[in-house]
Amino acid sequence: MRSEKQDLIGILMMVLLLSASALPAFGTSYPPALYHLAERHDRFVKGDVVYLFHSGTNDVRTIIHSGDTMAVYRVTPSCEVVPVGVIKVTSFVGDTYLKGEVFAGEIKPDDIAKKEKVSCLVISAGMCNK
């Protein structure tokens, strides 16, 4: 018959093994939620720099130019499209990004900026600062 001391030692060994096996998972990489947390901004207001992702097609370069303004819209949970602000385009960044400045309103990542038939997605500035 096993004693209580042997049972206690067995339980402690199991707890030690189970807790030690989970530690190497965080030893080699950062959890995704913690790694990208500092780079994302919640909102942009007048004067803040924003970056817009676009398709990179010829339509974008023919319709949008430096100095243009784009209306910004937000899609609500009930799928309504609501105007929330205006962005002034300052420059093209690479093949698929625009740099702009918030001219009016309060802009959030994932809002949509539009001019004529071109739409762009507002992204966090941290993604393009590197």
Same domain as 48, residue 90: yes
Structural domain total, the chain: 2
| Res 16: pLDDT | 79
Q: Which of 53, 33, 32, 37 is nearest to 111 (CA)?
A: 53
Same domain as 80, residue 52: yes
Domain containing 13: what range? 4-37
pTM of the model: 0.65
Same domain as 25, residue 88: no
Condensed to tens digits (0 to 9), the pLDDT of residues 75-112 reads 988 989 999 999 999 999 988 999 999 999 999 988 99
Q: Is the pLDDT of residue 123 over 60?
A: yes
Same domain as 80, residue 24: no
Same domain as 97, residue 116: yes
88-97 long-range CB contacts below 8 Å, 24 or more apart? 89/52, 89/64, 89/65, 90/49, 90/66, 91/66, 92/61, 92/66, 93/51, 93/128, 95/56, 96/53, 96/54, 96/55, 96/56, 97/51, 97/52, 97/53, 97/54, 97/128
